[in-house]
Chains A and B, each alone.
Chain A
Amino acid sequence: MMVTVKEFSKEEYLLKGHAACAGCGPAISLRLLFKALGNKIFLVVPACCTTVIQGPYPYTSFSVPLQNVLFESTAAAASGIVAALHQRNVKDITVVGWAGDGGTVDIGIQALSGAAERETDFIYICYDNEAYGNTGMQRSGATPYGAWTTTTPSGKRERKKDMPLIMAAHKIPYVATACPSYPIDFVSKLRKAKEIKGTKYIHILAPCPTGWRYDTGKTVELGRLAVQTGLWALYEIENGKFKLNPPSDRLIDKAKRKSVKEYFALQGRFRNLTEEDIDRIQKGVDEDWENYRAQTSCSASDATLHGKI
């Protein structure tokens, strides 16, 4: 199915005058979510930046049904809503769990794991700004190696948790990564996920100007650089079959990937990185891509195994 930007609906379900910071990556992602799925959705949102974007009570900038739930219970609450809609025989509503990286990778992982194991029919989207942005940038499990946060003032010393592959290990029908800098890829993945029955997990890299310490106008450029340097790979795992999506599929060859330095140079949070740190990160990226190459080549044989265990 071919999607173009001009074909996207002019209808806006994220209303103007919301409370996101200027240049907010998650806000672009939210708009793209509504462009992909329309207003026949039910959003379940835990404590994260999106609760802030809604604005103060009794106003909200979302013109779709939305339930604010506790931090750890996004997937559990979404399971309940799926069950309620099933009981009332409502079939045209897509339930979407929309949580930040803290609410997915750290706090919400047990509820999400449980929902995936129960094969709840919903889409779970983690928008990843690589820290707890809502409370002022504290380190999360998704913060990358070397990044400054308020709780890692000299740079985080541990690597980022690979959440999409953790979800793929649950053998759910669809796992994908996306980035709002590539809107067509983003929207087609969401539309594809909507058609699939079962738990769907989509992980979005959403640059955050406030926490990453860069000029607000560079949000889309940074997302693009993250993909071009190979730090963020766009792929989908459909029924166990791993597939890199454009433009990431061309980056398997190391020479085509940009140096990670270009990505770091734009951001204040990586200002303290030493040359050794950068070498270590570059090595980590190259290792990840070796894994992607291996998975791409053997995924054909894997696909037959999937679901029989």
Chain B
Amino acid sequence: MSRVPKTRKEMPLTPLSFPTVGSMGKTGTWRTFRPEVDYSKCTRCTLCWIYCPDAAIIRQADDSPKIDYDYCKGCGICANECPVKAITMCREEEE
């Protein structure tokens, strides 16, 4: 991120974009439904991690998922694909 030029003089001659986490900002704000993981049910199959289109599910050292709520768009694929239904979608404003 530090490589992104700040002034016009630092800009390269041809249009060039730099890899940035959150190029569209915190996409978690797009979310209506929030996935919640029940770790007692989770079997560590890592399917939610591989199917997440936003790479917002972090696969931890023990293969359990950790959801990055800053970037999760709340599509619900993880909840739909979980074989043991350990992920539920809750409405954002509700607890």
Contact = CB atoms under 8 A, between A and B. Distances in A.
Interface of A: 5-6, 8, 10, 12, 14-25, 27-28, 31-32, 35, 54-63, 180, 183, 209, 215-221
Closest 8 CB pairs of A and B: A55-B23, A217-B76, A17-B22, A23-B75, A27-B53, A60-B17, A59-B23, A22-B73
Contacts of A15: 19-23, 55
B47 interface: yes
17 contacts: A15-B23, A15-B55, A16-B21, A16-B22, A17-B27, A17-B54, A18-B27, A22-B31, A22-B75, A31-B53, A32-B50, A35-B50, A54-B23, A58-B18, A59-B17, A61-B20, A217-B80
A185 B71 CA distance: 28
B24 A219 contact: no
B19 A61 contact: yes
Nearest to A17: B22
A63 B53 contact: no
B73 to A, nearest CB: 4
Contacts of B5: 58
A21 B74 CA distance: 10
Interface string B67-95: 01011011111011100000001000000
B43 to A, nearest CB: 12
Given A31-B53, A183-B50, A23 B77 contact: yes
A20 B30 CA distance: 11
Given A12-B55, A16-B55, A220-B81, A215 B23 contact: no
Given A23-B75, A216-B76, A58 B55 contact: no
B76 A23 contact: yes
B66 interface: no
Contacts of B89: 217
Centre residue among B18, B31, B63 by max chain A CB count within 10 A: B18
B16 A19 contact: no
A22 B25 CA distance: 14
Nearest to A27: B53
A219 B80 CA distance: 9
B55 A8 contact: no
B73 A62 contact: no
Given A8-B50, A220-B80, A58 B63 contact: no
